[in-house]
Amino acid sequence: SKVNCTVSLVNTRSVRNKTSELMDCAIDSHSDICVLTETWLTNLDNVPRAALKQHGFNFQDFTRQSARRGGGTGILYKDSLRVSKQACGENNSFEYSEWLVTSANNRVKLCVIYRPPYSEDHPVSVQSFFTEFEDYLESIVLSNEPICIMGDFNIHMDKSTCPDQHKLMDILNSFGL
């Protein structure tokens, strides 16, 4: 039998000063899993990590490995779920983390993506992202588990006139996603 799971996504722009609000959000929204982008955590941020492990929730994350500040992805989840990090990394245009989420009867591969927007600090075009993202999808699409891809792509999917929106949809459609 299938088990329903409620999943939410939050671009936190730093979890350091928002752990209480994130816990409240996860509890109030009845989320089983809350995917986080832009955690801005470093390897030294043990206090916010501990603060996100309460009220029946656990937290795991992947910190940005490059010298640029910010970034990072994480997953806040109910402790009734088993979650293991499968892979993580940074491409030139985006960072990702992959998690195997297991409940009593189901398994899913949850892929979290964060693509920083083009800026002086990150002068990488959206075209570069499309190329790297297609390569990434080729590497995960044959997963044994169902795949759920979530994140902050910094592409306005609500603007039907945006050519980047159409290109992203074309890529996802070409992979049957």
Could you read off the pLDDT of 55-74 as tens digits, one per residue?
999 999 999 988 888 999 99
What is the distance between the alpha carbons of residues 75 and 57, in angstroms, rounded to a whole number? 10
Between 43-47, 74-78, 160-164, the lowest mean confidence (pLDDT) is in: 160-164
Query: pLDDT tens digit string along 80-100?
Result: 999 999 999 999 999 999 999
Average pLDDT over residues 94-113: 95
**Tokens found for residue 135:** 């390569």
What is the distance between the alpha carbons of residues 159 and 167, in angstroms, rounded to a whole number? 13
pLDDT at 54: 95
Q: Which residues contact 108 (CB under 8 A, 6 or more apart)?
A: 100, 101, 145, 146, 147, 148
